[in-house]
C-alpha cells in the first residue's frame, strides 16, 4: 500500500513519524475518515470543513490547503486502485524533539500529516444492513469536547471491546441518563415516524453523515427532532439506527438485550439508508 506522509508518497513500510510526535505522546491530533464508493469520495467538502474546525479549536496549523488535501486523497485512491473503501487522514502537532506539555511554536515545529487508504470491497452492501446490529450501553466518560474529532480514541475502543465481550456489535454511550452517541457513530431512534437524534453541542461529534441524513430526511418530508433521549425511551422506540461515514445508515435492532420494534431493520432506517446511498454517490 502507498501512503502519504508529510509531502511524500511512500510504500507503507518506508513511512516514518518521530517517536516524539505529539500525536503519539499526547494524542494531540485530529483525524477524518472519508468513505469511497465506486471511486468517488463521499462528502469530501463536509469532512474538510470539519477538519478545519477541529484544527482551529485546537490552535493547530494545517500543513496543506483543502485543494491539496483533495488532490492527495485522489492520488492515493489512484495509486492504491481503491474503488470501495476509505481514506484516513490524521494531522498531529508534530515533534519538538522533547516531551513538553506546552504546545511548541508552530513557526518552528510543523504539524505532521498522514493519509492512508483501506480497501473495503462490497462496503455499500454489508450484510449487517439487512439484519441490523445489536448494542449495549456504557457510561460516557470521555472528555468534554467531543465535537472536536481528536485521535483520543481509547475509551471508544474500550466501549467496542465491552460490546464484543457482551457478544454484540457496538456500544451507545450514556451521560446523565441520556444517550450521547455510539463509539464511532451518531445514534437515533424513531417514534411514530419521527426521527429523534441528539442536538448538536460539545457532547457529541457533529457527524457529516448525520448532517446529510437529516437534510435528506427533511427533504423527504420526514419529521426530525434534535433532542436528547434516554436509554428507556430508546428501548421503547419503534426503531433505532446509527450513522457514520463508514456505516452510512445502519439499523439497530437490540439495545441492552431489549428488542427494538420487530427486531428487524425498521422502515424509516431502511428508507434513509436507500436515500443516503442514492443521493450521496
Residues that bind ligand PDD in the complex, under the rule CB under 6 A:
33, 181, 184-186, 205, 207-210, 243-246
CA dihedral of residues 270, 273, 274, 277 (deg, nearest 10): -160
Q: Point out the catalytic residue in the list 149, 165, 191, 235.
A: 149
| Nearest alpha-carbon partner for 177 in 202, 153, 194, 198 | 198
Q: Give least dist CB 86 to ligand PDD, A.
A: 8
187 versus 270: smaller Cβ distance to ligand PDD: 187
Nearer to ligand PDD, 111 or 186 (CB): 186
Q: Are 248 and 212 in contact (CB under 8 A)?
A: no
Q: How far is the CB of 205 from ligand PDD (least distance, A)?
A: 4
Considering beta carbons, is residue 35 or 95 the nearer one to ligand PDD? 35
**For residue 22, what is its C-alpha cell?**
505529539
79 in catalytic set: no
Q: How many residues in total does the chain contain? A: 281
Q: In the complex, what is the shortest distance from the CB of residue 20 to ligand PDD, in angstroms, rounded to a whole number?
A: 25
3 state DSSP class of 39: coil
- 69: buried, middle or exposed (CB in 10 Å: 19+, 13-18, 0-12)? buried
CB of 102 to ligand PDD, least distance (A): 28
CA–CA–CA angle 189, 46, 186 (5° rounding): 20
- Judged by beta carbon, residue 210 or residue 273, the one nearer ligand PDD is 210
Report phi then psi at 136, rounded to 5.
-110, 170
- Residue 72 or 205: which CB sits closer to ligand PDD? 205
Give, in order, the Cα–Cα distances in Å from 29 to each of 33, 57, 127. 14, 11, 33
Quote the CA–CA distance of 242 and 227 in Å, as a whole number. Answer: 15
Shortest spacing between CB 96 and ligand PDD, in angstroms: 27
Just list the catalytic residues.
149
Amino acid at each position: 500500500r502507498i501512503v502519504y506522509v508529510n509531502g511524500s508518497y511512500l510504500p507503507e513500510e518506508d513511512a516514518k513519524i518521530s517517536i516524539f510526535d505529539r500525536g503519539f505522546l499526547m494524542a494531540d491530533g485530529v483525524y477524518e475518515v472519508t468513505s469511497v464508493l465506486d471511486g468517488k469520495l463521499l462528502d469530501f467538502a463536509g469532512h474538510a470543513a470539519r477538519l478545519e474546525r477541529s484544527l482551529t479549536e485546537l490552535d493547530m496549523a494545517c500543513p496543506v490547503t483543502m485543494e491539496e488535501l483533495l488532490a492527495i486523497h485522489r492520488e492515493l485512491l489512484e495509486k492504491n486502485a481503491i474503488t470501495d473503501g476509505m481514506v484516513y487522514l490524521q494531522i498531529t502537532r508534530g515533534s519538538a524533539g522533547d516531551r513538553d506539555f506546552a504546545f511548541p511554536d508552530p513557526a518552528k515545529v510543523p504539524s505532521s500529516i498522514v493519509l492512508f487508504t483501506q480497501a473495503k470491497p462490497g462496503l455499500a452492501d454489508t450484510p449487517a444492513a439487512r439484519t441490523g446490529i445489536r448494542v449495549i450501553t456504557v457510561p460516557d466518560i470521555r472528555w468534554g469536547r467531543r465535537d472536536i474529532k481528536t485521535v483520543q480514541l481509547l475509551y471508544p475502543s474500550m466501549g467496542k471491546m465491552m460490546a464484543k465481550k457482551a457478544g454484540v456489535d457496538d456500544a451507545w454511550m450514556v451521560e446523565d441518563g441520556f444517550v450521547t452517541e455510539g463509539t464511532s457513530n451518531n445514534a437515533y431512534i424513531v417514534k411514530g415516524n419521527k426521527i429523534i437524534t441528539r442536538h448538536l453541542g460539545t457532547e457529541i461529534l457533529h457527524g457529516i453523515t448525520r448532517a446529510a441524513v437529516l437534510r435528506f430526511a427533511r427533504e423527504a418530508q420526514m419529521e426530525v427532532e434534535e433532542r436528547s433521549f434516554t436509554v428507556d425511551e430508546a428501548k421503547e422506540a419503534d426503531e433505532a439506527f446509527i450513522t457514520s461515514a463508514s456505516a452510512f445508515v445502519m439499523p439497530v435492532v437490540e439495545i441492552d438485550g431489549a428488542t427494538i420494534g420487530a427486531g428487524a431493520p425498521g422502515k424509516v432506517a431502511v428508507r434513509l439508508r436507500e436515500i443516503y446511498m442514492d443521493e450521496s454517490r
